[in-house]
Amino acid sequence: MKNFGFYMPTRLFFGAGSVKRLAKVRLPQGTGLIITGGTSTTRLGYVAKVADTLAEAGHPTVVYNKVQPNPTIEGVRECAALCREQNIAFVVGLGGGSSIDTAKAVAIMATNDGDWWDYIHGGTGGGKRMVNAGLPIVAIPTTAGTGTEADPFTVITNGEEKIGGGGEKCFPTISIVDPDFMMTVPPHLTAYQGFDAFFHAAEGYLAKTANPMSDMFALQAIALIGKSLAAAVKDGSNADARADVALANTLAGFVETLSSCSGEHAIEHALSAFHPDLPHGAGLIMLSKAYWSRFKDTSADRLQAIAHALGRADGDFLAALAELQQACGVDKLRLSDYGVKPEDAGELADNAASTMGALFRVDPRTLSREEIMDIITESI
């Protein structure tokens, strides 16, 4: 049996209505900064609900609402400057993974010198260690896809580099997973995000870094997605299905913490760095058949176990994957829909290797540059 470690310092509250817990949790005295993006969290009343609940506990708040779907280094810098100017005591990431990842980076930059990119390992990152603990982080996801409420990682884009970073200092202090905040996500985004969670779990189960603890979380997350993702896509008001997918997402975050994503994520990060309008989960769906077919011989037992968790009795993983994509209405997606061309494959493969190359090293076998290019071209 493999040796492994498990460190999870986040206090997590799960379930409908659990945002009310904010009124009673221990947070530093002072002003909180709510970090969010777009207009939906404001329009749907989530920002007001969080601010009002914090006010009950004596915490005034200010709001930064400029986070992009693929959060940028410029946004982190702007938000970190606001954090220092306002003498912020804690940060709240409210929204999708982009808002929570931005909150993590900002929390670190509020207490450490330099720039976030100084602490990135890969690409043009500075590779420095974070010296000081960041500000306390409250993570409140309004989507079920990234699992960032249950892991110590961030993904930030700097030009044509979209790189994961972080470490133990980036774990949220408190995470509140309230499915009530996810009920209005549109069907196509529910599917994209749900498949992101699925691939976090499945890649972590496939990776060389998998261990008994990560396997336990991974298979349970996969089973919940197989049971309820299509139902949540079909009927967003299905509270039970939403809760299942929300829990699957958080469990998949544990898998990221305990194991790792694999080369599929490295390739997609390169794609969405060059094509910021490409939703991350959609990119993973497009790559999936070509990527996972490369391991049908080397990882047959693992793929069979994933298929069984999805409910496929014969253990045919690629068939189970295709069935789930069809049930969620995402089986026709192609990279060409977002302007990716065959002649781009070499540059994308090189970008993936230079920015997120560590993920290829946990694949069950090494993929050559030519194979990575083929995965991209087969997905166009």
Parse the chain into domains and list their residue ranges: 11-181, 186-378
Structure token pair of residue 104 = 């993590």
Architecture (CATH level 2) of domain 11-181: 3-Layer(aba) Sandwich (3.40)
Task: Look at residue 320 and tell me whether its pLDDT is greater than 90.
Answer: yes
User: In terms of Cα–Cα distance, which of 192, 207, 209, 200 is closest to 148?
Assistant: 200
Rounded distance, CA 282 to CA 126, Å? 30
Mean model confidence pLDDT for the chain = 97
Mean pLDDT of 346-363: 97
Distance from the first to the final alpha carbon of the chain? 40
pLDDT digits 0-9 by tens, 46-99: 999 999 999 999 999 999 999 998 899 999 999 999 999 999 999 999 999 999
pLDDT over 70, % of the chain: 100
C-alpha distances out from residue 113 to 18, 78, 117, 120, Å = 35, 15, 11, 14
Q: Which of the four pLDDT bands, split at 50, 70 and 90, describes residue 117?
A: very high
Q: What are the counts of helices (DSSP H) followed by strands (DSSP E) for the chain?
A: 13, 8
Name residues whose C-beta falls within 8 Å of residue 339's C-beta, 6 or more positions apart in sequence. Answer: 275
Options 3.40.30.10, 1.20.1090.10, 3.20.20.120, 3.40.630.30; CATH of 186-378: 1.20.1090.10
Q: What is the pLDDT of residue 1?
A: 78
Q: Where are the alpha helices (DSSP H) in the chain?
A: 40-43, 46-56, 73-85, 97-109, 187-206, 212-234, 239-258, 263-274, 280-292, 300-309, 317-327, 345-360, 369-378
Over 90: is that where the pLDDT of 352 sits?
Answer: yes
pLDDT at residue 3, as a whole number? 87
Quick one: average pLDDT of 26-44?
94
Determine the Cα–Cα distance for residues 317 and 299; give it in Å rounded to an integer: 11
Q: Is the pLDDT of residue 251 over 80?
A: yes
Q: Which whole-number Å values give the CA distances from 228 to 51, 186, 277, in the listed order?
A: 31, 16, 27
Q: Is the pLDDT of residue 276 over 90?
A: yes
What's the rounded Cα separation, in Å, for the pair 125 and 105? 14
Using pLDDT thresholds of 50, 70 and 90, give the confidence band for residue 150: very high
Residue 261: is its pLDDT beyond 80? yes
Q: What is the mean pLDDT of residues 157-168?
A: 95
| Predicted local distance difference test score (pLDDT) of residue 6 | 87
Q: In 3D, which of 209, 192, 197, 365 has the Cα closest to residue 282?
A: 192
Q: Where are the alpha helices (DSSP H) in 110-238?
A: 187-206, 212-234
Share of the chain above pLDDT 90, in %: 97
Q: Is it the case that residue 268 has pLDDT exceeding 80?
A: yes
Q: What is the pLDDT of residue 170?
A: 97
Flag whether pLDDT at 301 surpasses 90: yes
Q: What is the distance between the alpha carbons of residues 80 and 341, in angstroms, rounded to a whole number? A: 37
What is residue 4's predicted lDDT score, i.e. its pLDDT? Answer: 86
Q: Please compute the mean of the pLDDT values over residues 139-160 and round it to a whole number.
A: 96
Calculate mean pLDDT across residues 224-251: 98
* Predicted local confidence at residue 270, as pLDDT: 97
Which pLDDT score is estimated for 103? Answer: 98
Task: Please give the Cα distance from 174 to 11 (Å, whole number).
Answer: 5
pLDDT average, residue stretch 282-301: 97
Q: Tell me which amino acid residue 336 is.
A: S
Tokens of 346: 């070499």
Cβ neighbours of residue 93 closer than 8 Å, sequence gap 6 or more: 35, 36, 99, 100, 101, 102, 103, 104, 137, 138, 139, 140, 148, 172
**What pLDDT is recorded for position 138?**
98
For residue 5, pLDDT over 90 is answered with: no
Helix axes 187-206, 300-309, angle to 10 degrees: 140
